[in-house]
Protein backbone atom coordinates (compact mmCIF):
# COMPACT_ATOMS: atom_id res chain seq x y z
CA UNK A 1 0.00 0.00 0.00
CA UNK A 2 1.31 3.46 -0.83
CA UNK A 3 0.33 6.21 1.53
CA UNK A 4 0.99 9.90 1.31
CA UNK A 5 0.06 12.65 3.73
CA UNK A 6 0.79 16.32 4.20
CA UNK A 7 2.35 17.91 7.27
CA UNK A 8 3.41 21.40 8.20
CA UNK A 9 7.16 21.94 8.14
CA UNK A 10 8.31 25.41 8.99
CA UNK A 11 6.58 27.92 6.77
CA UNK A 12 5.53 25.44 4.08
CA UNK A 13 3.90 22.06 3.67
CA UNK A 14 5.77 18.89 2.85
CA UNK A 15 4.46 15.71 1.34
CA UNK A 16 5.45 12.70 3.43
CA UNK A 17 5.71 9.71 1.10
CA UNK A 18 5.23 6.31 2.63
CA UNK A 19 5.62 3.13 0.64
CA UNK A 20 4.49 0.16 2.69
CA UNK A 21 2.04 -0.92 5.37
CA UNK A 22 4.74 -1.04 8.05
CA UNK A 23 4.31 2.26 9.90
CA UNK A 24 5.74 3.48 13.18
CA UNK A 25 3.59 4.45 16.16
CA UNK A 26 3.07 7.94 14.67
CA UNK A 27 1.67 6.47 11.47
CA UNK A 28 4.75 7.23 9.35
CA UNK A 29 6.65 4.65 7.32
CA UNK A 30 9.93 3.72 8.88
CA UNK A 31 12.55 2.65 6.30
CA UNK A 32 15.47 1.50 8.41
CA UNK A 33 14.79 4.43 10.70
CA UNK A 34 14.19 6.89 7.86
CA UNK A 35 10.97 8.49 6.73
CA UNK A 36 11.28 9.67 3.16
CA UNK A 37 10.19 13.27 2.67
CA UNK A 38 9.86 15.23 -0.51
CA UNK A 39 9.14 18.85 -1.12
CA UNK A 40 5.65 19.30 -2.44
CA UNK A 41 5.45 20.64 -5.97
CA UNK A 42 3.31 23.68 -6.47
CA UNK A 43 0.55 23.59 -9.10
CA UNK A 44 2.75 25.09 -11.83
CA UNK A 45 5.58 22.62 -11.17
CA UNK A 46 3.14 19.66 -11.23
CA UNK A 47 1.69 20.91 -14.52
CA UNK A 48 5.14 21.23 -16.12
CA UNK A 49 6.28 17.84 -14.77
CA UNK A 50 3.14 16.17 -16.11
CA UNK A 51 3.55 17.78 -19.55
CA UNK A 52 7.20 16.68 -19.82
CA UNK A 53 6.31 13.18 -18.64
CA UNK A 54 3.57 12.90 -21.28
CA UNK A 55 5.89 14.06 -24.08
CA UNK A 56 8.58 11.66 -22.91
CA UNK A 57 6.10 8.77 -22.85
CA UNK A 58 4.85 9.60 -26.35
CA UNK A 59 8.27 9.69 -27.98
CA UNK A 60 9.32 6.63 -25.98
CA UNK A 61 6.51 4.64 -27.63
CA UNK A 62 7.57 5.79 -31.11
CA UNK A 63 11.17 4.74 -30.47
CA UNK A 64 10.08 1.42 -28.97
CA UNK A 65 7.96 0.63 -32.04
CA UNK A 66 10.77 1.48 -34.46
CA UNK A 67 13.26 -0.65 -32.55
CA UNK A 68 10.80 -3.52 -32.26
CA UNK A 69 10.42 -3.37 -36.05
CA UNK A 70 14.23 -3.56 -36.40
CA UNK A 71 14.50 0.04 -37.65
CA UNK A 72 16.61 2.89 -36.41
CA UNK A 73 14.39 5.58 -34.90
CA UNK A 74 14.41 8.99 -36.56
CA UNK A 75 17.13 11.27 -35.23
CA UNK A 76 14.43 13.81 -34.40
CA UNK A 77 12.74 11.27 -32.08
CA UNK A 78 16.04 10.31 -30.46
CA UNK A 79 16.89 13.97 -29.85
CA UNK A 80 13.45 14.65 -28.39
CA UNK A 81 13.67 11.57 -26.15
CA UNK A 82 17.07 12.66 -24.82
CA UNK A 83 15.93 16.28 -24.33
CA UNK A 84 12.75 15.21 -22.50
CA UNK A 85 14.76 12.81 -20.32
CA UNK A 86 17.15 15.62 -19.41
CA UNK A 87 14.28 17.98 -18.65
CA UNK A 88 12.52 15.35 -16.54
CA UNK A 89 15.76 14.83 -14.61
CA UNK A 90 16.01 18.57 -13.95
CA UNK A 91 12.48 18.57 -12.49
CA UNK A 92 12.98 15.52 -10.27
CA UNK A 93 12.63 15.69 -6.54
CA UNK A 94 15.94 15.48 -4.61
CA UNK A 95 14.99 12.03 -3.29
CA UNK A 96 14.98 10.72 -6.88
CA UNK A 97 18.47 12.01 -7.72
CA UNK A 98 20.30 8.73 -7.23
CA UNK A 99 17.92 6.80 -9.48
CA UNK A 100 17.85 9.71 -11.90
CA UNK A 101 21.64 9.76 -12.08
CA UNK A 102 21.69 6.08 -13.06
CA UNK A 103 19.07 6.72 -15.75
CA UNK A 104 21.05 9.67 -17.10
CA UNK A 105 24.23 7.54 -17.33
CA UNK A 106 22.29 5.14 -19.53
CA UNK A 107 20.98 8.09 -21.59
CA UNK A 108 24.63 8.88 -22.40
CA UNK A 109 25.08 5.30 -23.61
CA UNK A 110 21.88 5.66 -25.63
CA UNK A 111 23.18 8.80 -27.35
CA UNK A 112 26.41 7.04 -28.32
CA UNK A 113 24.56 3.96 -29.54
CA UNK A 114 22.28 6.16 -31.67
CA UNK A 115 25.34 7.35 -33.58
CA UNK A 116 26.31 3.75 -34.34
CA UNK A 117 23.27 3.21 -36.58
CA UNK A 118 22.97 -0.27 -35.03
CA UNK A 119 19.30 -0.91 -34.14
CA UNK A 120 20.08 -3.98 -32.01
CA UNK A 121 22.64 -2.11 -29.90
CA UNK A 122 20.22 0.78 -29.50
CA UNK A 123 17.43 -1.64 -28.53
CA UNK A 124 19.62 -3.25 -25.87
CA UNK A 125 20.43 0.12 -24.31
CA UNK A 126 16.84 1.31 -24.67
CA UNK A 127 15.80 -1.78 -22.68
CA UNK A 128 18.32 -0.83 -19.98
CA UNK A 129 16.61 2.58 -19.82
CA UNK A 130 13.20 0.95 -19.44
CA UNK A 131 14.55 -1.35 -16.72
CA UNK A 132 16.06 1.63 -14.89
CA UNK A 133 12.76 3.50 -15.14
CA UNK A 134 10.81 0.49 -13.82
CA UNK A 135 13.23 0.10 -10.89
CA UNK A 136 12.83 3.78 -9.99
CA UNK A 137 9.04 3.57 -10.23
CA UNK A 138 9.01 0.51 -7.98
CA UNK A 139 10.77 2.56 -5.31
CA UNK A 140 8.87 5.82 -5.61
CA UNK A 141 5.31 5.05 -6.67
For residue range 77-106, what is the model confidence (pLDDT) as tens digits?
A: 999 999 999 998 888 777 777 778 888 999
Sequence-ordered list of residues with C-beta below 8 angstroms from that of 67, at least 6 positions apart, any chain: 73, 119, 122, 123, 126
The per-residue pLDDT for range 12-71, each reduced to its tens digit, is: 334 444 333 344 445 554 444 444 444 566 788 888 988 998 999 999 999 999 999 999
Domain with CATH 1.20.120 in the chain: 43-140
How large is the greatest C-alpha to C-alpha distance in the chain, in angstroms?
56
pTM above 0.85, yes or no: no
The top-level CATH class assigned to 43-140 is mainly alpha
- What is the crossing angle of helices 75-91 and 43-68, to 10°? 150
Amino acid sequence: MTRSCWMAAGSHWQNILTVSEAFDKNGQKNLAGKTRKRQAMNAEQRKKYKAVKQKLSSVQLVIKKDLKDGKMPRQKDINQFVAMSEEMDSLNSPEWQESGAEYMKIIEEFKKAAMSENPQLLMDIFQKLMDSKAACHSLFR
